[in-house]
Amino acid sequence: MTAQGTVLDDIIAGVREDLAPRRARVDDAAIARLAAAAPPALDARAALVGDGTTLGLIAEVKRSSPSKGHLSGIPDPAALAATYAASGASAISVLTEQRRFSGTLADLDAVRARVDVPVLRKDFIVEEYQVLEARAHGADLVLLIVAALDDECLAHLHDLVVSLGMQALVETHTAEEIDRALALPAPLIGVNARDLRTLDVDLHRAAGLLARIPADRVAIAESAVASVDDVRAYAAAGADAVLVGEALVTGEDPAAAVAAFRAVARRGRVAPTNGDPR
């Protein structure tokens, strides 16, 4: 479980509080029925791998963050997502956490209705209900954060994701968390440059951890991308794809940025060494 008193703890406490009124409106049985009735999920892994020559890109609809505060109003998340998709984004990430990221499930609904690429529900998933909710609202991909879950809960939620036809992006930040993620049959492993306990960011450290991910998994670098040079640094470290939000929503030309990021060549991963960062 998470350490006491971290930023991540505070976020999760708010997530649990905000879940209660949604659950009161749509109970567990009803959300399960809605999830079962949703159209089949798209294959996010295939979309991210593509033809294997260039990096995959998950482009994010993100209004705010705990570290930077307000980033962009995004009055029309569907239009922004459509711009991303038209510019070559492999998948779209939609923040649905409301307190720190100003996201909503309505954003997810709008994006899902507009684009035909896979959609990630990006939130702090700690209960079954949220996974069912993601499928009911059309998500193809669900974020599971290793730091937020013990092994039993992580495995249980991952199994539920798979049973609903979705895939999980299993997010890590340390070597130990990567090892925990690799104990699952999850095809998508993320390495977040941001420590969610403190909000500190270190691209170099995250890049060094990518080599720990086997070649049969898709390694996704998250956070710390401000320019195409940062994307190239992740590619050189062995990333198969990158997840980018802030640089896109605060930039002047998100379409051009998406195209530039997607053009970065994939380099493959080297074998890990004894000096892997931890």
**223 belongs to the catalytic site:** yes
Question: Is the per-residue pLDDT at 38 higher than 70?
Answer: yes
| pLDDT reported for residue 3 | 39
Question: Is the per-residue pLDDT at 275 higher than 50?
Answer: no
Q: Which of 72, 102, 122, 246 is catalytic?
A: 122
Question: Is the per-residue pLDDT at 19 higher than 70?
Answer: yes
| pLDDT reported for residue 1 | 36
**17 belongs to the catalytic site:** no
Q: What is the spatial distance between Cα 30 and Cα 34, in angstroms, rounded to a whole number?
A: 6
Quick: pLDDT tens for 235-255: 999 999 999 989 999 988 999
Q: What is the spatial distance between Cα 108 and Cα 185, in angstroms, rounded to a whole number?
A: 26
Q: Which of 65, 97, 223, 246 is catalytic?
A: 223
Q: Which of 60, 97, 177, 246 is catalytic?
A: 60
CB-based contact 83:255 (threshold 8 Å):
yes
Three-state SS for 243?
Answer: strand
pLDDT band with cut points at 50, 70 and 90 for residue 270: low
pLDDT band with cut points at 50, 70 and 90 for residue 277: very low
Q: Which of 72, 93, 102, 192 is catalytic?
A: 192
Q: Residue for token digits 């409106």?
A: 25
**227 belongs to the catalytic site:** no
**252 belongs to the catalytic site:** no
**68 belongs to the catalytic site:** no
Question: Is the per-residue pLDDT at 40 higher than 80?
Answer: yes
Rounded to two decimals, the pTM is 0.93
Q: Which of 97, 133, 222, 246 is catalytic?
A: 222
Task: Supply φ then ψ for residue 53, to 5 degrees.
Answer: -95, -30
CB-based contact 240:55 (threshold 8 Å):
yes
* CA-based nearest residue to 58, from 70, 44, 68: 44
**274 belongs to the catalytic site:** no
Helix or strand (DSSP H, E) at 177: helix 175-182
pLDDT band with cut points at 50, 70 and 90 for residue 231: very high
CB-based contact 268:238 (threshold 8 Å):
yes
Q: Which of 93, 97, 133, 171 is catalytic?
A: 171
Mean per-residue pLDDT, 84-101? 96
**192 belongs to the catalytic site:** yes
* CA-based nearest residue to 95, from 69, 129, 120: 120
Question: Mean pLDDT lowest for which of 17-26, 68-77, 144-153?
Answer: 68-77
Mean per-residue pLDDT, 89-98? 96
Q: How would you class 116 by CB atoms within 10 Å of its CB: exposed for 0-12, middle for 13-18, buried for 19 or more? A: exposed
More confident residue, 194 or 32: 32
Across the chain, mean pLDDT equals 93
